[in-house]
Each structure stands twice: as C-alpha cells, then as structure tokens.
Amino acid sequence: MISNDIGLAAEILKNEDVIGFPTETVYGLAGNIYSTKAVHKIFRIKQRPLHNPLIVHIKQIEDLDTVAIEIPELAKIMAHKFWPGSLTLLLKKHPDVPELITAGHETVAVRIPNHPVALSLLHQLDFPVAAPSANPFGSISPTTPEHVDAYFKDELPLVLNGETCKAGIESTIIGFKGESLVIYRLGAISKEEIENVAGPATLYNKEENTPEAPGMLSKHYAPKVALHLTDNLSESIRKFSDKKIGLLVFRQHREDQNSKYQIVLSPTGSLKEAASKLYAALHELDAMALDIIIAERFPDHDLGKTINDRLERASKR
Ligand code: TXA
Ligand code: MG
C-alpha cells in the first residue's frame, strides 16, 4: 500500500516491521537498526546475503557519534558540507551498532538523507533506520513508490510516498585511509564535487565477488533483459538488427529507430537529469518485452562516470 501517512510509517517502524522509505537518491527498505526482527526481514525480502552490510540513516549530524567512533576531521568536514545529502561515510562503528547491520565489518556506513518526507519520519523516531535500496538483490533500484510496490507488494505493510526521487541514483560512498579519501561507490555526488572539497580522491574499484564495499559487486542494477553498453551506437544497432531493440541514449534521438522503444535521458545534455532518469528508463524498457537494450556510453566525467558505472554493472551477465 502506497501511503502519505508519516505517522503510520513511524508506528510500523516502532513495531519492528519494515517499510518502503523515500530518499532523494532511491527508495529504501527501512527498519530499526536495533531490531533484529526488522533487519532480518530486510535481508530476507531483499534476498540479500547476510555478509552484505546496510547503510544507517540518521536524522541529524549530532547523532553521528551514537553510531560511529574515532571520526576523522576530514569526515566531519565532508558531513558538514554534504549532509543532508547523497554522501555515505564509512566510519569506525560504535559498539552499539549491531553486527548484523555491518555484517561483521569494523566500519559502519552512514548518511542523512535529503528528503523532506524521510527527515520528517526520522524525526518521529528515536532510533536510526537501516535502508538498502528497495529492490531484490541485483535488480534495478527503485525511484518511485510504484517501483517498490511492484517489487514488494506482498511483503510490505506500507510504502511511504515521497514521489519520484530527485537524484535517482544511489549515494556516493566514501571512506578514509590515513589522510586520504577513498571513493568506494560512485553515486549522486560526483568525484569532482568531492575533490573540490577534499582534494584528490582515489577510486576503489576492485572487480571481485567479495569486495570491501559489496556495492561494487560486478553484476548489479540489472534489468531482466540483456543490456549491451556501446561506444558505437550505429555499429551495435547493425549487429543486433535481427532483434527487438530498446535504445537508451543520452541526448540525441535516433531517427532510424522506432521511437516507441527509445528513451532519450536528457535532450539538453544534462548529466544530472540523465542520472535522475536512468533507473526509471531501465524499468520502463524492461517492461517492453524486448530482446536487448542497447545503451550508449556516457561522457566519462561528473555524473557521466556514475551512469557508466551502473550501465557497466547492468550489462554483466
Ligand atoms: O542512496 C543510497 O545509498 C540508498 C538509499 C536508500 O539510502 N541505499 C543504498 O543501499 O544504496 P544499498 O544497500 O543498496 O547499497 C549500500 C552499499 C552496499 O553495497 C553495501 O555493501 C555497502 O553500501 N555498505 C554498507 N555498509 C557497509 C560497510 N559497513 N562497509 C562496507 N560497505 C558497506
Ligand atoms: Mg542497492
């Protein structure tokens, strides 16, 4: 059930159940971090392996030291600069944070979401909420309440309505190694924006199945239909000419293709707009009974990097 009732959502969370939770990035599956029952339900309905930890969402910066300890100065600077917002910090965990949340890691992932409905809900609670993206493990993240409802109609008592997510792509995850800053997952805040504040950052991008930040799993964010990522649209269209193709392009509509099966993410060439519409476009194309989705590679800077990261993972089989 999709609902605007924030009070009811808070009651459900206090009763240790799980809800669909709007944030500015993507929708989450939210539960009380201290409730084993709620957190187990999140893992179960998402079909997420227990070794893959969850992000903790807090309502205000003052609560940070209830979930993390030994917070580096640079982390505080980043938090003050970007919170509420789409930046997740990996910090040393507070002993009170259940191991189930951090999957036994020494670190906890934490952020303050920048969404009025999410913040108003968090302010009605005296605990933080754990929220992974509200999609079954490995599939496309949800950016509307309808996406969440379609995935989890039978399992969730309520999906809190926060309309369409503004950023539409997950938070950027950063951690700290000595003096340096490491980006573990590219996201809604670009590498360039982070470096403008923190100086040079390194990108952690090890392609393996048990990576340090499991958000870096190579196959992820995948539609059901195969996705082919290309630098050369014309050549790829030719190569798959015997197939029913769906096209996902940045700004330029292809006149030679059926526009019914074609999504232009930003006619004005805005990477931010393209990022915000990416998942909704993949959901839409996935519902069209296509043989293949051909996606154009984006310019490799700013949010184009994040979009390419997601398209690459979506293209892995
Ligand atoms: O934008 C977002 O971050 C959304 C919204 C709902 O906040 N959440 C989200 O959660 O994307 P999820 O679980 O789909 O992705 C979080 C990633 C996972 O890959 C997880 O493995 C990693 O963060 N992560 C969480 N806690 C961690 C920890 N303690 N150490 C390392 N990686 C962690
Ligand atoms: Mg996810």
Ligand whose nearest atom lies closest to the CA of 143: 1
d(CA 36, CA 290): 41
Average pLDDT on 92-101 reads 98
Ligand whose nearest atom lies closest to the CA of 29: 1
Residue to mutate, 21, 24, 47, 55, ligand 1, most ligand atoms under 8 Å from C-beta: 55
Q: Cα of 200 to ligand 2 centre, how many Å?
A: 26
Does ligand 1 have an atom closer than 6 angstroms to the CB of 294? no
Burial-class residue 157 by CB neighbours within 10 Å (0-12, 13-18, 19+).
middle
Q: How confident is the model at residue 210 (pLDDT cuts 50, 70, 90)?
A: very low
**Res 301 pLDDT > 80:** yes
Average pLDDT on 9-19 reads 98
Q: Of 116, 125, 166, 96, which Cα lies nearest the Cα of 30? A: 125
Please give the pLDDT value at position 223: 87
- Rounded to the nearest 5 degrees, what angle is found at the Cα of 300, between the Cα atoms of 108 and 131? 25
Does ligand 1 have an atom closer than 6 angstroms to the CB of 266? no
**Res 209 pLDDT > 70:** no
Q: Residue with the nearest Cα to atom 3 of ligand 1?
A: 171
Mean pLDDT across the chain, nearest whole number?
94
